[in-house]
Structure 1
Amino acid sequence: MNRSRVVVKSLLLSALSLGIADCTGVANSAGVHASSLKGSVSLMGKPVNGAAITLWQVSGGKEPKQLKTLSSGKDGAFSISLSPKEGAVHYLVVTGGRVDGEEAKRLSMLSVLDDKVAESVVVNELTTVGSIWPNAQLLEDDALRGSASALAIGSGQVRNLVNPGSGSYGETLLRSSNLLNSETTVRMNVLSNLLGLCAGAENTQACDELLSLTGSENTLSALTSIARQPWKNVSQLYKLFDQSYPIDKTTELRSTATLPYLLFEPKSFSLSLVFNGGGALGLGKLMFDGKGSMWSGTNWMPGSQSGVVNNIGGGVTHFGPGGIPLSPAISGYNGQGINGVGWGTGVSEKYAWVGAFNNMVGVLDLKDGEALGPATIDGEVGQLQGVATAANGDVWIADNTANHMIHFPGGDYTKGKRHTIDGLQAPFGVAVDARNRVWVSSSYNNKLTVFPGDAPDQAKTIEVNLGGRGVAVDSTGHIWIAQQSNSPQGALPPGAKMPPNIPANAPQPKTIMEEFEAGAEYLLTNPTITQTGMVGLISPDMEVVKTDIAKGTAYIPWGVSIDGNDNVWVGNLYGQSLTHICGVNPANCPAGKTTGDVIHNYQSGVIQMTTDVIVDDAGNLWSANNWFDGEVVINPTYRGRTSTFGGGQGFVVTYGVAGPVQNPLMGPVRKQS
């Protein structure tokens, strides 16, 4: 059915700066004129009259305030007076009302206002879905709460899914990569139609079932519950849609449902969007700054025919909280001669840091990406990988090919010092715990190395599986590590025709790309291998707790992140997924799940070969599409129409499924208060 698109002229002011005025057209004390915001309330294309409309205002770290409550007219129309207020996010909650003369007592809908100027505002089933998913972890009933950065991300992402001015789809959702390559649009439509079951007496039983499945009292809470745990009760929810919107035998369509809809039962009702631009190709490690902006070094330059054999390196990409690219297209930020970045991206209080392939540490100002580096280091370095910032501001970078650790005390990029540490062979991932101990994985041996930040010569090692990659520290001090093999010895899998990608006693590759090429060739030439890699768990006392976590789901696991619930997220490269794992506190996991259990494995057509997944301040996941076509990545010759398909295309945001954290990551994870 067509949704109501009542267009009435108004000025929709910034969601970060909207306020309420006493009367339309009268200047407030700051000299800023108020404006009358007009709009409509509809459900499945029908006006909702007599609904209670509440305008809410919330600022970072504060309780939301009700500014005004009014009722919609017979045609669903309303008008409200607004004026700018710096640092505030505004949203509209609609409850009750009548649809086709029937009371809709359990109806509750939402529209989070954004920072775009528009001429109308609509509250309907689609704005509800589009507003809930990016803010799901910040919503409790009709109260929206969060830090300034969390609110900026949550409100800034809404327009990507839905246009609150028209009540229709967002521009980012309608881009071909999202519309054609993912289920996001059809999932949103089915979710909208499930909400529509609470329109009145005709669907009382169906509405009862929706609320029962989600443990909710109204539709706003019901959809918030689905957004947070989109894998829960999926079969029952899809069956409810199937039965409530039957196929018309004449048209062979579900004529009362919104087109297009799901033809098959989904794995979950998660919503994901891919974002491009700003030089984003082959992103390795993602990091957030304290204002909700994302930074990442790029393996290769967009538009190039790059892979691990031949390549043109990229620069540094920077995106705002709403997914808008701030760095320039193609090259990204590159005022200091960066020629490609692997997994080496970090953020400190003042700077973004990248460990480059061309033997340098790039440093950028967080405000505008101004080049401040290369950093000064007390000797020559090799090709660099992981970057970590300690709680005290120290920055540590893994020198992957020269087997050093590079230390910048207090985050001073002019005072880099190299440390040679026993046990390191191709250091890769780096994390710092609350005791200022530095944990480093090695991509070319079976050691996890740990040393005091103020005494690197006192290093100790722990035996883990071969092929260590990402390392993360949870709030209890436990260490989680991605391991790309199933053994510390690297035993040959059945049917393997050549040594594994990390052969015992083999010489370390001279370049990072050579190591990646060897690993990819090994998997490509051994088609019998359909799974390799697991996640390991180490106690704060350096005891191995588990080594085989996510076995069978993990397939070349790479990046590891901890969310605000101390649960674990893994970027699963060859599995092309985001794997959610129960952390050390099972009380924060679904019933029946315990430490190390896989909660859900998120996949989408827009999620490509993934090296990293991180959690933002609002509880959304951002993941790096590192490779696209694995055969092109390792091919040394021209591949015709697919020659530019090596690098992964942009990054993906999966909404509302993680416990919010406080960024930037400095030391162990910090829960968002």
Structure 2
Amino acid sequence: MPLKRIPVTLLATVGAVASLCVVGVSDADAAPGGVAGAVVTDGPARAWDVRAWITGTDATPVRSAGAVRTDRTGRFTLRPTSQPGADEAFYVTATPAGQSSSFTTLAAISPTVPSRLTVNELTTVATGYGMAQFVDATRIGGKAPGVRNAASMAGNLADPTSGRIGSTLASAPNGGQTSTQAAFISLSNALAACTTSPEGCSALRSATTTPLSGRPSNMVEAMANMAKSPEHNPAGLFGVTLRRPARAGGLPLPPAAWTLALRFDGGGGLLAGPGNFAIGDGGDIWVNANYQYNADPRTPVCDSKYLFRFGPNGKLVGGRPITGGGLSGAGYGITRDHSGDIWVSNYGFAAPEPGCPADRQPPHNSVSKFSAQGEVLSPAAGFTQGWISWPQGMTTDRTGSVWTTNCATDSLTVFPDGDPGRARNIKVGVKQPFHLIDNGRALFVSGLQSSSIAMLDRSGKPLRTPITGPHVDNPLGLATDARGNVWIANSGVITLPCPDRPTGTASVGSVSALDPTGRTLVGPLRGGGITIPWGITTDGDGNVWVGNFAGKRVSKFCGANAATCPPGKRTGDAISPEVTGYFFDGLARSTGIIVDPAGNVWTTDNWKEVPLQTNPGGLHIVALVGAAAPVPLR
């Protein structure tokens, strides 16, 4: 019977975590000044050659940090000859003894040198996915701070000290609440097929040979191949996972794609309606939020007073959100300026009456500012200069000026050089301006209600009449690539109450692109699982990622440089699966999307799948681990 290719929605529940106990090293085994380790696989007992490495960065090469051969039980003591610097990480590879190179190569990675280390199939999957964008055979290196940040994300999947599933993956809001843990177990079983038999290695190697990355030289590279091309032959790799189901709790059916997605909520009880992202200094993930948190969706809520700063590994910095500075129900607007400061526009989201009471309705007329360390830099009511009114998207242009759209007044507010005292208000020529970007030569503004795109110089002067046509359809998010092309998320349906919501007809949504002069490049594109696209971004290769407001999926398209796409793909072709996209059952309705310097794709659970208007906000941000070409800090 042929394997069915369907979205993953069925989760293993019984014994999944209990079955993952592994033989490793204990605290008593720790070696003073060294690493007490064990290589533990599902294959036969054997000795292994273990080599330690320090990852390279753009400033330092990958370098050896020692080598040792294990005993027949896989145990070893290693005294590293080098330590990772602030932007580096420590990793080990384990190859069957006497084989200078072998496809059956395991790995584990840590941002620092641990006193205990376990290397097994779980840590190898984590290394392959977390470091996917930095793996070259068994060499791992890349630009700072991405490579070290990626190592910290890998630890969320598997703990390199114990060799068990990482606490982030094993617990809420992940664990049994989504399919990722089951997918991770299945991938470890695919590696177990290789560690137990040559035939399993051959099957694994064949299943993970992708058009984009070619034939993997070892198991680490095999997992990196799947992180970068999760849509490739999911049923084929699923078949390999069934050859040696060493760990219970894997997927019962093939996934739509082999993405590994993790949810983060800052510890729970605070994040509600995350709207959009900015990447801060060091690769931190800054997130604004629409609503107050309340676990009961029937409880009316008012505006969020919080700004969230997550570390590159998804942990909430300082253990609590940032408050003050006029924060008031932020929507899509957030930007990082040239000094590293973070700006947020305060749309004033709140549940409509009889939800949030009239005397608690928030203002809709300010932006807030915070330092890169989270210090409040705006007054208690925020900056209100420039006739701000129901603001949404923000950007910092190439000269350092900070812009926000005013949905209610069809205008823009600009703070030249980031100075609110010099604020100006500019009529933009589109209705319900939502987002804006600088493509290097002009500002582009999406007009949501008017289904048009304005093109302005940096003084605010129109450069042409607004762009319209079938390739512009209720546009929301905008993104630009290194060539200056402008990519458009056409919702086809969304309008906003700012304060009144216009009515109109709906279409299915699409993606389009303009060249740097505003002429149509491609589109409208409707493949790749597109369903009401909202957020849009480009990765380090210029390929295009879309957050969809319906369907629990992210979409990916080939960008302007088709050489970075799978062979045969051209600019505008869908890379994610045609019907499902990169489906994840832990997603709700997404808005913002961004790629970090470690190659993780972040998107928001902005609204619940079936939202009650009293309290509709989603409760998580989501990272697709290692899925995209990293975007370096600017």
Using the size of structure 2 for normalisation, the TM-score is 0.85
Of 181, 188, 193 in structure 2, the residue corresponding to residue 185 of structure 1 is 181
Which structure has the greater CA radius of gyration?
Answer: 1
Is 1:354 aligned to residue 344 of structure 2? yes
Structure 2 counterpart SS, 1:264: coil
Residues of 2 paired with 1:564 and 1:307: CA distance?
42
Residues of 2 paired with 1:282 and 1:431: CA distance?
23
Alpha-carbon distance, 1:327 to partner: 5.8
Is 1:566 aligned to residue 566 of structure 2? no
Distance 1:46 1:174, change over 3 A: farther
**1:222 aligned partner:** 222
Residues of 2 paired with 1:219 and 1:328: CA distance?
36
For 1:38, the aligned partner's letter is: A
**1:250 aligned partner:** none
Is 1:110 aligned to residue 107 of structure 2? yes
Aligned partners of 1:238 and 1:265 also within 8 Å = yes
For 1:283, the aligned partner's letter is: P
The C-alpha deviation readout for 1:428-451, integer Å capped at 9, x for no partner, is 11110122x111001111210011
Is 1:263 aligned to residue 261 of structure 2? no
Of 597, 607, 618 in structure 2, the residue corresponding to residue 648 of structure 1 is 618
**1:451 aligned partner:** 456
Residues of 2 paired with 1:579 and 1:306: CA distance?
29
Aligned partners of 1:344 and 1:397 also within 8 Å = yes
Structure 2 counterpart SS, 1:430: strand
**1:439 aligned partner:** 444
Structure 1 counterpart SS, 2:322: coil
The C-alpha deviation readout for 1:250-282, integer Å capped at 9, x for no partner, is xxxxxx521111111111211011001274221
Alpha-carbon distance, 1:618 to partner: 1.5
Structure 2 counterpart SS, 1:598: coil
Larger CA deviation: 175-184 vs 408-417: 408-417
Aligned partners of 2:343 and 2:369 also within 8 Å = yes
Alpha-carbon distance, 1:141 to partner: 1.0
Alpha-carbon distance, 1:199 to partner: 2.4
Once the two structures are superposed, the pairs formed by residues 125-524 of structure 1 within 5 Å of their partners are 125-199=121-195, 203-213=197-207, 214=209, 215-242=215-242, 244-245=243-244, 256-277=245-266, 279-303=270-294, 311-326=302-317, 329=320, 332-348=321-337, 349-357=339-347, 358-373=364-379, 376=383, 378-421=385-428, 423-435=429-441, 437-458=442-463, 460-464=465-469, 465-485=472-492, 509-511=497-499, 514-515=500-501
Residues of 2 paired with 1:108 and 1:187: CA distance?
21
Q: Structure 1: give runs of 5+ residues left out of the alignment.
A: 13-23, 26-34, 246-255, 486-499, 503-507, 524-528, 637-643, 665-673
Residues of 2 paired with 1:308 and 1:352: CA distance?
31
Alpha-carbon distance, 1:86 to partner: 4.0
Distance 1:501 1:135, change over 3 A: closer
Aligned partners of 1:304 and 1:312 also within 8 Å = no
Residues of 2 paired with 1:309 and 1:301: CA distance?
9
Structure 2 counterpart SS, 1:548: strand
Residues of 2 paired with 1:75 and 1:661: CA distance?
42
Aligned partners of 2:48 and 2:97 also within 8 Å = yes
Alpha-carbon distance, 1:308 to partner: 13
Aligned partners of 1:156 and 1:321 also within 8 Å = yes
Residues of 2 paired with 1:79 and 1:599: CA distance?
45
Aligned partners of 2:598 and 2:630 also within 8 Å = yes
Alpha-carbon distance, 1:190 to partner: 1.7
Aligned partners of 1:133 and 1:224 also within 8 Å = yes
Q: Structure 2: give runs of 5+ residues left out of the alignment.
A: 1-18, 210-214, 348-363
For 2:232, the aligned partner's letter is: K
Identical residues among aligned pairs (%): 25
For 1:111, the aligned partner's letter is: A
Aligned partners of 2:405 and 2:411 also within 8 Å = yes
Aligned partners of 2:534 and 2:549 also within 8 Å = yes
**2:511 aligned partner:** 535
Alpha-carbon distance, 1:394 to partner: 2.1
Q: How well do the aligned residues superpose, as a CA RMSD in angstroms?
A: 2.8
For 1:42, the aligned partner's letter is: V
Distance 1:501 1:80, change over 3 A: closer
Distance 1:185 1:2, change over 3 A: closer
The C-alpha deviation readout for 1:186-237, integer Å capped at 9, x for no partner, is 211221122122325xx22231122233212322222221221111121211
**1:8 aligned partner:** 26
**1:15 aligned partner:** none
Alpha-carbon distance, 1:539 to partner: 1.6
The C-alpha deviation readout for 1:29-71, integer Å capped at 9, x for no partner, is xxxxxx2211111112765413333333434542211121111
**2:559 aligned partner:** 583
The C-alpha deviation readout for 1:334-372, integer Å capped at 9, x for no partner, is 212322100001112321010102310100011134343
Using the size of structure 1 for normalisation, the TM-score is 0.81
Distance 1:428 1:45, change over 3 A: same
The C-alpha deviation readout for 1:266-300, integer Å capped at 9, x for no partner, is 11211011001274221111110131001121001
Aligned partners of 1:365 and 1:372 also within 8 Å = no
Aligned partners of 1:292 and 1:617 also within 8 Å = yes
Residues of 2 paired with 1:338 and 1:2: CA distance?
44
Residues of 2 paired with 1:474 and 1:610: CA distance?
21
Larger CA deviation: 190-199 vs 342-351: 190-199
For 1:4, the aligned partner's letter is: V
Alpha-carbon distance, 1:474 to partner: 1.2
